[in-house]
Amino acid sequence: MREDIRVIIARYREDVSWAEALGCDHVVYDKGGDGGPGTRPLPNIGREAHTYFTHIVNEYDVLSPLNVFLQGDPFDHIDDRGRATVETLRKQLEDVADRGMPFKGLAWFKLKSDRLGRPHDLRKPENEGRWAGWGRDIPVGEIFELLFDAPMPREIVCRAPTGNFCVTGERIRTRPKAFYEFCLRLTEADPHDQGNTGHAFERLWQHIFNGNTAWNRDRYE
């Protein structure tokens, strides 16, 4: 059992029995209402960002050396050929921990985003009805500037676009707890993601955890 790794799972009715085989501590936050014993129930709001910020705020002072944030079924996002298994994920997490990497996106791809989250698929006809914010752009620039009080670059690289990533407790704490409380309030203010706030955070994880303390606004200190 790896005591230096903790997996935080944002579940909505997925079968998360695979977590037992990871060989490390894990906690399941359940938004489907049927999580069973040992899970931590949360209201079904704010996408996985709400789950992750809830965990960080509540555990800020006791975060694990490596914290792994995963969706309830992350495997299609880890390998585009559909070959990801619990064993390959376990080895990947151990490699990140052993190498002391402060942040690592677990998606098999990266993407570039402008301040409106483009390119995105929130206007594809086949996706209509899947999200409350369908048909709208993603407020990446707006959220970036709310968080950091700095202009967003014309384009950013998104290294954890599926919401699956690893980050050390030390790196998380380069920003004050008040910062994450503010992030949590942003997700709560858009509970059904009608404004695509949760989608914006999917494009911003690597900036939230980049360790750039110059971006910490005075009000978070």
pLDDT in tens, 110-141: 999 999 999 999 999 998 988 899 999 999 99
Average pLDDT over residues 143-150: 94
Peptide bond into 119 cis (omega under 30): yes
- What's the whole-number average pLDDT of the chain? 94
Four-residue CA torsion sign, 117, 121, 124, 130? negative
Q: Is the pLDDT of residue 80 over 80?
A: no
Q: Which two tokens stand for residue 172?
A: 């998380």
Tell me how crowded residue 49 is: count the other CB atoms within 10 A of its CB. Answer: 26
Q: Is the pLDDT of residue 191 over 60?
A: yes
pLDDT of residue 73: 95
User: Which domain range does residue 84 map to?
Assistant: 2-212
Q: How many domains does the chain have?
A: 1
Q: 182-186, long-range: CB within 8 Å, 24+ apart, which pairs?
A: 182/147, 182/220, 183/49, 183/53, 183/147, 183/208, 184/50, 184/53, 184/54, 184/57, 186/143, 186/146
Q: Which amino acid is at 47?
A: R
In a domain, 218, yes or no: no
CA-to-CA separations, 83 to 71, 77, 105, 147, 172, in angstroms, rounded: 17, 10, 18, 37, 31
Confidence of residue 79 (pLDDT cuts 50, 70, 90): confident
In a domain, 162, yes or no: yes
Determine contact, residues 183/49, Cβ cutoff 8 Å: yes
In a domain, 217, yes or no: no
Confidence of residue 162 (pLDDT cuts 50, 70, 90): very high
pLDDT (tens digit per residue) in 11-20: 999 999 999 9
Q: Which amino acid is at 128?
A: E
In a domain, 34, yes or no: yes
In a domain, 38, yes or no: yes
